[in-house]
Chains A and B, each alone.
With several copies, the nearest count.
Chain A
Amino acid sequence: MEFILDFLTRFATQLQSPTLGFLIGGAVLAALGSRLEVPDAIYKFIVFMLLMKIGLKGGMKIREADLGDMLLPALFAVLIGVIIVLLGRYTLAILPKIRTEEGIATAGLFGAVSGSTLAAAMAVMDAEGLTYEAWAPALYPFMDIPALVLAIVMANVYLTKRKGDAGTRVKIWPIVTDSLRGSALSALLLGIALGLLTRPDFVYDSFYEPLFRGLLSVLMLVMGMEAYARVNELRKVAHWYAVYGAVAPLVHGLIAFGLGYIAHVTTGFSPGGVVLLSVLAASSSDISGPPTLRAGIPSANPSAYIGASTALGTPVAIAIGIPLFIGLAQVVFASA
């Protein structure tokens, strides 16, 4: 009871956070038919800047970190990516009116990770003074890649079986490299490498760090406009996608929270780390995931998975997921 009250207060405060404000503002503008536009070049550059910032910081801090601590959370990240896809495969994908391969693709997208949702969570946590392990953002690929790979493999196995020919096997390595080559993961990993191997402190402190929050606010505006624009796409596909888009982020986040809690108890994974793991799980890929899935499961209609993710999954993860997991952490770890 108290927890719910607490969450509602937190949620109300969260509504005043500019992150969420810009997201909602974007959706409202789009709904009102505003001609305001953030040019594509700016959008792409902002995504680069945010992931580079996250990567640099991670890389700079990892130097001092004990990477042994990362082992269990990284394993859990992989596990969560796998669980999300399997869960989607045996719930969403078996529902009536859902084409199995489209259900699997959607689960893959929700298992993958959104750099912008991650950035939004980090901004909120920084504002609240909730700290996490330096390497926590580096869990990103550990969840992202297995989810995409598994979804593509399962969908192709399914399609091959249906066709009855047991011929073509799906190659895993190309899917992995394709994921790694995506612009989001490339920027993140380059940032980590540069943070680790060079001394980017000055450029980080004078450029990437101070611009982070502001650029994030512009990105949230775009994602709000985008969410509204995609609602129509979502309308054209089975209603179950909407249900999944609204519920899955929270379910995935809570599963991750549970696993994170185990890591907390066994290896001292920080409360902030647990929250970040939950956000990674709750988020659904918006930049690199869709083209990878499109190439890997070409017969799945992208309107289904992109609609579910952009119109509902991401707003839910940001607006409800982030405050929920932070609130949960404060309740659960306060007593601990």
Chain B
Amino acid sequence: MIRQAIKLTIVTERLLLKEIIRVIEAAGASGYTVTPASGKGSKNLRSSGDPMVSDTYANVRIEVITTEPEMSERIANEIGEKFFENFSGIIYRDQVEVLRAHWL
């Protein structure tokens, strides 16, 4: 029942959401979760003309849980190479135990 898996987390500019989802789905992931985020890093580009003075969340935080470790690496590499030269973002991963999932 309990299954070891990798949770890959990508924090990047909201502008890229659609394209990143395309990468994730193309990699064959069984799903993903998106949460609104904001933040600061070392590149820190403003992605849009959206007002800064309102409470906008200009980043997204995308999590992909996968039981295949190399899939997480593949997704990270593709996103990193395709977008991170010009866009803000960070990618990290850790180990989780999946207790319930419809794809198990």
Q: Is the beta-carbon distance between A290 and B48 smaller than 8 angstroms?
A: yes
Cα(A179)–Cα(B78), bound, Å: 27
Cα(A302)–Cα(B44), bound, Å: 10
Q: B55 on the interface (CB 8 Å rule)?
A: yes
Q: Is the beta-carbon distance between A222 and B54 smaller than 8 angstroms?
A: yes
Within the complex, the shortest CB–CB distance from A196 to chain B, in Å, comes to 24
Q: A226 on the interface (CB 8 Å rule)?
A: yes
Known A302-B45, A303-B45; judge A291-B15 contact (CB<8 A).
Answer: yes
Q: B residues within 8 A CB of A289?
A: 49
Q: Is the beta-carbon distance between B56 and A40 smaller than 8 angstroms?
A: yes
Q: B residues within 8 A CB of A303?
A: 45-46
Partner of B86 from the list A225, A229, A287, A298 (CB cut-off 8 Å) is A298
Q: B70 on the interface (CB 8 Å rule)?
A: no
Cα(A116)–Cα(B47), bound, Å: 20
Q: B81 on the interface (CB 8 Å rule)?
A: no
Q: B51 on the interface (CB 8 Å rule)?
A: yes
Q: B87 on the interface (CB 8 Å rule)?
A: yes
Within the complex, the shortest CB–CB distance from B35 to chain A, in Å, comes to 16
Q: Is the beta-carbon distance between B51 and A294 smaller than 8 angstroms?
A: no
Cα(A323)–Cα(B82), bound, Å: 46
Q: A233 on the interface (CB 8 Å rule)?
A: yes
| Total interface residues in chain A, CB < 8 Å | 28
Cα(A153)–Cα(B49), bound, Å: 21
Within the complex, the shortest CB–CB distance from A280 to chain B, in Å, comes to 18
Q: Is the beta-carbon distance between B86 and A299 smaller than 8 angstroms?
A: yes
Q: B101 on the interface (CB 8 Å rule)?
A: no
Within the complex, the shortest CB–CB distance from A39 to chain B, in Å, comes to 6
Q: Is the beta-carbon distance between B54 and A230 smaller than 8 angstroms?
A: no
Within the complex, the shortest CB–CB distance from A104 to chain B, in Å, comes to 15
Q: B residues within 8 A CB of A309?
A: 49
Q: Is the beta-carbon distance between A43 and B48 smaller than 8 angstroms?
A: no
Q: State which residues 309-335 of A face B: CB under 8 Å.
A: 309-310
Q: B residues within 8 A CB of A226?
A: 51-53
Cα(A289)–Cα(B50), bound, Å: 11
* Chain B positions 83 through 95: 1 when the CB is less than 8 Å from some CB of chain A, otherwise 0: 0011100000000
Q: State which residues 36-79 of B face A: CB under 8 Å.
A: 45-56
Q: Which residue of A lies closest to B57 (CB)?
A: A40
Q: Which residue of B lies closest to A291 (CB)?
A: B48
Q: State which residues 254-286 of A face B: CB under 8 Å.
A: 285-286
Jot down 23 A-B pairs with beta carbons below 8 A, ordered by A: A30-B53, A37-B54, A37-B55, A38-B54, A39-B55, A40-B50, A40-B55, A43-B51, A225-B53, A226-B52, A229-B53, A230-B52, A233-B46, A285-B49, A290-B49, A291-B15, A291-B48, A291-B49, A299-B86, A301-B45, A302-B46, A302-B47, A310-B49
Chain A residues with CB under 8 Å of chain B are 30, 37-40, 43, 222, 225-226, 229-230, 233, 285-287, 289-291, 294-295, 298-299, 301-303, 306, 309-310
